[in-house]
Amino acid sequence: GENVEQHPSTLSVQEGDSAVIKCTYSDSASNYFPWYKQELGKRPQLIIDIRSNVGEKKDQRIAVTLNKTAKHFSLHITETQPEDSAVYFCAAFGTGGYNKLIFGAGTRLAVHP
């Protein structure tokens, strides 16, 4: 089955710096890669996603890149702000009849003023 690895587990940056979180996946058939932001006690919020026919996608300060050959994808947050502090999860669509989302272990991002 699909396996998703995420690094780093924690990331601390100064306000205004960039943050990069990386994920690798094992199933070459996976075709959808969402990123979620989760604040304590809340539901995961989709912040950006990318499909396998696209190499890069950007939405204001957030961008995601996908390298299908290497089976890895990354989240880039520029000009970080304290409100970006949260846990970020990558995920990949596993194979199987119901297309399960398999999550990475999460990255705890702390943005210091």
Shortest Å distance, C-beta 50 to another protein: 11
Shortest Å distance, C-beta 38 to another protein: 9
**For another protein, which is the closer residue by CB, 16 or 58?**
58
**For another protein, which is the closer residue by CB, 3 or 18?**
3
Distant-in-sequence, close-in-space partners of 104: CB < 8 Å, separation ≥ 6: 4, 5, 6, 23, 89, 90, 91
**For another protein, which is the closer residue by CB, 50 or 111?**
50
Instruction: Give the integer Cα–Cα distance in Å for 60 and 49.
Output: 13
